[in-house]
Amino acid sequence: MPSDKSIFQPDQKLARSAYVSTFQQYEESYKESIEHPENFWGNVAKQFHWETPYDLSNFNSFNFDISKGPISIKWMEGASTNICYNLLDRNIKNGHGDKIAFFWEGNHPDDYSRLTYRKLLEEVCRFANVLKQHGINKGDRVSFYMPMVMELPIAMLACARIGAVHSIVFAGFSSDSLAERMNDCKAKLLITADGAWRGEKLLNLKKICDQALDKAEELGHHVETCIVVSHIKRVTAPKEELVDDFSVDMRDDRDFWWHDEMEDAEPSCYPEWVAAEDPLFMLYTSGSTGKPKGVLHTTGGYLLYASTTFKIVFDYKPNDVYWCTADIGWITGHTYVLYGPLANGATSVMFEGTPFYPDNDRYWAVIDKYKVSQFYTAPTAIRSLMKFGDSPVLKHSLETLKVLGSVGEPINPEAWLWYYKIVGKERCSIVDTFWQTETGGHVITPLPGATPMKPGSASFPFFGVKPMLLDEGGKEIQGEGEGYLVFSQPWPGMMRTVYNDHKRFESTYFSKFPGYYCTGDGARRDADGYLWITGRVDDMLNVSGHLMSTAEVEAVLTEHTRVSEAAVVSRPHPVKGECLYCFITPNQNEVFDKKLVDELKVLVRERIGPFAQPDVIQNAPGLPKTRSGKIMRRVLRKVAVNDRDVGDISTLADEAIVDQLFANRP
């Protein structure tokens, strides 16, 4: 047991009542979960309904070694179930029908509502019937472009109820990105809202969808139906005048209002029993080659994993109120706003707004309003709130808090300590949860009652997860050291394939080190065995918790007719974690001017989304290339932070370029 000064022990009271209350207990259960996954997960599976039972002797089978045949991961093959039934009907049958599933808190503090498990089921069934009326069957893909309104979880669960596959596109993506994703999965139907407020900004989501539907058409894919939630009229407008100019076009042959469709829909719908390995949803994530990957998750294993990680990592107890601030458009929202909490019959807060509206104490106000006991957010949000000092936090009691979660990127110790001391009053455990869209749920994380915390370390693997560090040659690093973070065996919630592209799944995750799932992250193990995620080892970067590849941004920049070449690197950013620093070589005889810079920023916003907007675009009449033509990115990273200590550049074709780049810094 480590005994360093920079170690924070879990609060005694919290530890005593926690599901896992000592480190020794964690170690024992962990050992069992690795050595006998069928026993460990079989115990979890018992609490759920399986229409066709699972077979413990054939609970889990897999191949991680590409040289032995196709990669495959299967849990509970042969069993059948329905995840919506397990989240709703089962909890209602267990007497929780009147329990609140969601407190909905709107962008404006005057807008809020609540939904019980019983009412949620009724709405889900009605919408499931609407989907069926529009010809949606088992296996069909339904795309979403939605704000954080109750219709979003309702429609997701409606898909799950009839075995349709939801594909949520975060409503901050551009129409191009939405079109590309709808085309890739050949979506039959799109669900959106007329618009949404983000603080005082009014977004016309339907307009973006109209453009995306047209663009999908150009790509050769026709989306038959678009269902639109009328949201703007029912909420408080932070700026009335913006509503006066707000309008949406509805196309007779394609567009339908949610409320019209729901009016006569039957409030019951028999669940479609699906195989444990049938797809539940897909969610796109950036790939290092540019094209987004449709990460596919299946039903049975995901249910086990989402429910167990939620319960244990947040130590969720029946009377707790839990709040995850993530948008459902990201995996965090899928697993820890929707599936994990509902699988446990939990009560959650679902928040539509931003941390800064109407004031920068909104998070803390909401925590007190609903008496939140578990709060889960991202380091970038913590850092942006720290900037306002302690007083917005200290205006609120926050006495109900017990566990504070962090997700999406490494949390720097300074932000960790602020979260721990100012928000958590040194009483709450911090769970720094490392995971990915691909992993489906937490894979490396402290447990709140059991793990002594080190600020900035995600610490130890969750049950069933076996991390290893490998060196460049694929040799395992035992004990202290740093290397590639890989996993040597599957856990129930991991992705099964890239939608429609199993080869890409195999080459992205399983080809670098045969026999292992490769995360793309580096990690260090310290003398106490704690794991510290050191960041991406590929050309991916993480801006405010949004993962993107340098290649995809470069591809957009070079689309511009005045640009000859582009190279993008990550630069540390005090709030966003990382930001985009772009080097642009204009075409011959073209000048590099402010107009070009502005056009490039707009282009990236349009093609990818506003969150991908570069912070810096610099003129680079030449890029630092080796004689073989490879761009030396480490030099560009040095230029981005104005560090002249560039190291060995003797392999560059033209060393003078380096001085020129420093001289050109804006």
Residues that bind ligand WT7 (CB under 6 A): 285, 330-332, 407-410, 432-437, 458, 519-521, 533, 536, 542, 545, 547
Quote the least distance from Cβ 532 to ligand WT7, whole Å.
9
Q: Is 469 left (phi over 0), alpha (psi -120 to 50) or beta?
A: beta
Quote the least distance from Cβ 169 to ligand WT7, whole Å.
14
Query: In the complex with ligand WT7, which residue's Cβ is closer, 433 or 585?
Result: 433
Query: In the complex with ligand WT7, which residue's Cβ is closer, 77 or 528?
Result: 528
Quote the least distance from Cβ 547 to ligand WT7, whole Å.
4
Residue 416 CB partners (closer than 8 Å, separation 6+): 406, 430, 432, 455, 456
| Phi, psi dihedrals of residue 568, rounded to the nearest 5° | -120, 135
Query: In the complex with ligand WT7, which residue's Cβ is closer, 501 or 590?
Result: 501
Are the C-beta atoms of 185 and 499 separated by less than 8 Å?
yes
SS3 of 574, please? coil
Q: To which residue do tokens 């890409």 refer? A: 504
Residue 581 CB partners (closer than 8 Å, separation 6+): 568, 569, 570, 571, 614, 615, 616, 618, 636, 640
User: Which is it for strands 616-619 and 577-586: parallel, antiparallel or unpaired?
Assistant: parallel
User: Which is it for strands 165-168 and 141-145: parallel, antiparallel or unpaired?
Assistant: parallel
Quote the least distance from Cβ 546 to ligand WT7, whole Å.
7
Quote the least distance from Cβ 377 to ligand WT7, whole Å.
11
Query: In the complex with ligand WT7, which residue's Cβ is closer, 433 or 618?
Result: 433
Query: In the complex with ligand WT7, which residue's Cβ is closer, 38 or 501?
Result: 501
Quote the least distance from Cβ 519 to ligand WT7, whole Å.
6
In angstroms, rounded to a whole number, what is the distance separating the alpha carbons of residues 662 and 658? 6
Quote the least distance from Cβ 48 to ligand WT7, whole Å.
24
SS3 of 135, please? coil
Query: In the complex with ligand WT7, which residue's Cβ is closer, 121 or 407?
Result: 407
Quote the least distance from Cβ 91 to ligand WT7, whole Å.
25
Find, among 82, 88, 159, the residue nearest to 119 by Cα. 88
Sign of the Cα torsion 124, 130, 132, 135 reads negative
Quote the least distance from Cβ 523 to ligand WT7, whole Å.
9
> Which long-range CB contacts under 8 A does 646-653 form with residues at least 24 apart?
649/624, 651/626, 651/627, 652/624, 652/625, 652/626, 652/627, 653/625, 653/626, 653/627
Quote the least distance from Cβ 137 to ligand WT7, whole Å.
30
SS3 of 83, please? helix
Query: In the complex with ligand WT7, which residue's Cβ is closer, 79 or 403?
Result: 403
Q: To which residue do tokens 């019209």 refer? A: 260
- The pair of structure tokens assigned to 539 is 């050309």
Integer angstrom CA distances of residue 196 from 59, 127, 182, 243, 393 = 44, 21, 21, 11, 27
Question: DSSP secondary structure string, 460-497?
Answer: SBPTT--EEEE-TTS-B--SSEEEEEEESS--TTS--E
CB atoms within 10 A of CB 595: 10
Are the C-beta atoms of 458 and 439 separated by less than 8 Å?
no
Quote the least distance from Cβ 417 to ligand WT7, whole Å.
16
Quote the least distance from Cβ 43 to ligand WT7, whole Å.
26
Quote the least distance from Cβ 163 to ligand WT7, whole Å.
25
Quote the Cα angle for 18-19-22, to 5°.
Answer: 70
Quote the Cα angle for 114-119-120, to 5°.
Answer: 80
What type of residue sits at position 71?
Answer: I
Quote the Cα angle for 345-278-184, to 5°.
Answer: 110
Query: In the complex with ligand WT7, which residue's Cβ is closer, 353 or 408?
Result: 408
User: Which is it for strands 100-105 and 347-351: parallel, antiparallel or unpaired?
Assistant: parallel
Query: In the complex with ligand WT7, which residue's Cβ is closer, 178 or 597?
Result: 178
In angstroms, rounded to a whole number, what is the distance separating the alpha carbons of residues 655 and 662? 12
In angstroms, rounded to a whole number, what is the distance separating the alpha carbons of residues 335 and 587? 46
Query: In the complex with ligand WT7, which residue's Cβ is closer, 167 or 433?
Result: 433
Query: In the complex with ligand WT7, which residue's Cβ is closer, 407 or 636?
Result: 407
Query: In the complex with ligand WT7, which residue's Cβ is closer, 80 or 285?
Result: 285
Query: In the complex with ligand WT7, which residue's Cβ is closer, 204 or 436?
Result: 436
Find, among 628, 627, 661, 629, the residue nearest to 644 by Cα. 661
Separation of CA 457 from chain center: 20
Quote the least distance from Cβ 326 to ligand WT7, whole Å.
8
Query: In the complex with ligand WT7, which residue's Cβ is closer, 436 or 660?
Result: 436
Closest residue by beta carbon to ligand WT7:
437
